[in-house]
Amino acid sequence: MPKFILYACPVGPLADQVQAFLDQSRAQFGPNAAHGYMPHCTLTGFFSDDPAVVPGDLQRLDRLLARALPTGPRPAVRVTGWGGNPVWLGLDLDAPWLSGLAKDFADSTKAGPRQTPVKAKSGLHLTLANAFPGRQHAPLAALARQMVDPKRVASARSMLCSAKRAITSPMAVRSRISMGRKRMAPRSIHCSRARLPGGSRKKQVSTTVGLTLTNAR
């Protein structure tokens, strides 16, 4: 049974800096767990379900975004500072509106049958490096502070993706949203074209949804 997850992915200057850091840190220190994903903020945990329910999930996201965006705060997401522990580095986010959107999506899926429930995440963050050797913490942190400026403003896009164990034929589906960059790594999240029920293959179209990611004042 396929697994799915909901992301909010930054775009704009901050996203460009994060991607540049990921590329440079991989070249300089080798790959870590963050390199298997596009830059993202995780909004839900993984949930398993039949691909046939995906179109309904996308419609729910579209309706929730259309209803919430006109009255949403500006900015919807703030970077509150650097976060980290011995094996993780990233940016801590303050995003109650985005957390609420994820919760509304999770609640909206309870009406129909589910293989596993959708659960909204708390403690939102944007990962820069993860599961690396402890000796790399200090140089990775120094590189991150050199290359990533949390004060840079970025918009964000929501994304519903499927997780595939295989490194080929990745599947992803969108909700008014964007693709991000593909990364061919086992058990990673990929965004490419979506094979929807019925066997048709449709091109993804990126649509900014107006979420704003910015720094704390």
pLDDT digits (tens, 9 = 90+) for 166-178: 222 223 344 333 3
Beta strand residue intervals within 32-96, DSSP E = 41-42, 47-48, 77-85, 88-94
For 13-27, what is each residue's pLDDT tens digit?
888 999 999 999 999
pLDDT per residue of the chain (217 residues) written in tens, 0 to 9? 788 888 888 888 888 999 999 999 999 999 999 999 889 999 999 888 888 888 888 888 888 888 887 777 777 788 889 999 999 999 999 888 889 989 999 998 886 677 788 999 989 999 999 999 999 999 999 999 999 998 877 677 777 776 643 222 223 344 333 323 333 232 333 332 222 223 333 333 222 333 444 444 3
Beta-ladder partners of 84 = 89
User: Cα–Cα distance between 97 and 86 in angstroms, integer?
Assistant: 30
What is the CB neighbour count within 10 angstroms for residue 47?
20
User: Cα–Cα distance between 35 and 38 in angstroms, integer?
Assistant: 7
According to DSSP, residue 53 is labeled: G
User: Which of 107, 10, 124, 121 minimizes the C-alpha distance to 57?
Assistant: 107
CATH number at residue 168: 3.90.1140.10
What is the count of structural domains for the chain?
1
Q: Residue 95 is part of which domain span?
A: 3-215
According to DSSP, residue 136 is labeled: G
